[in-house]
Amino acid sequence: MVKVLVSSCLVGNKVRYNASCLSIPEPELHWLKSNVDLVVFCPEVSAGLPTPRAPAEIITGKGVDVLDGLANVVGNDGIDVTTPFVSGAENALELCQKQQIKYAVLAEGSPSCGSSKIYDGTFNGIKIDGSGVATALLERNGIKVYSQHTIAKLQSTLEKQS
């Protein structure tokens, strides 16, 4: 079966900043469990960040800007967490490269895992178009990243290949 990296918080692990988890809609989760080999991973926890932790946002820019040294990731406590966020992204890429993973389903909106939306850096709950740091690094290296809301697109891609 094709291996797919999946955000740990999407499969019930309470590793988000507030020690909660998210979920994948049941039909899509069932399809994933039946058709792919899920490799569960949390970039932020892999980099040694604690749970719970301060919510963090990219200031000011997107994941690609953090990778290029043009923006930072900062917690709402004012602490700069750019280094662990980049380490977490590198850990995700290393895992994908070791296991020849070409697809990922990552949690939308996260400064690490978001793939089409992230928060704007003001901590006011405002979302902007853009991807998180881990997603940006994976995509830069040819890995296709989907979110819990776009699993149908992954399904379509994999079905075309089979």
Residues that bind ligand SF4 (CB under 6 A): 7-9, 15-16, 42-45, 107, 110, 112-113
Minimal distance, residue 6 CB to ligand SF4, in Å: 8
DSSP per-residue letters across 22-82: ----HHHHHHHHHHEEEEEE-HHHHTT--SS---EEEETS-HHHHHTTS-EEEETTS-B-H
Helix 151-161 to helix 26-35 angle (10° resolution) is 30
Q: Which is nearer to ligand SF4, 113 or 161 (CB)?
A: 113
Minimal distance, residue 13 CB to ligand SF4, in Å: 8
Minimal distance, residue 9 CB to ligand SF4, in Å: 3
SS3 101: coil
Q: Which is nearer to ligand SF4, 46 or 61 (CB)?
A: 46
Q: Which is nearer to ligand SF4, 116 or 162 (CB)?
A: 116
Minimal distance, residue 111 CB to ligand SF4, in Å: 8
Minimal distance, residue 91 CB to ligand SF4, in Å: 11
Q: What is the rounded CA–CA span in Å between residue 154 and residue 152? A: 5
Q: Which is nearer to ligand SF4, 18 or 162 (CB)?
A: 18
Q: Which is nearer to ligand SF4, 44 or 162 (CB)?
A: 44
Instruction: Identify the sign of the CA torsion 54, 57, 60, 66.
Output: positive
Residue environment code for 83-93, b if the CB has 16+ CB neighbours within 10 A, otherwise e: ebbbbbbbbbb
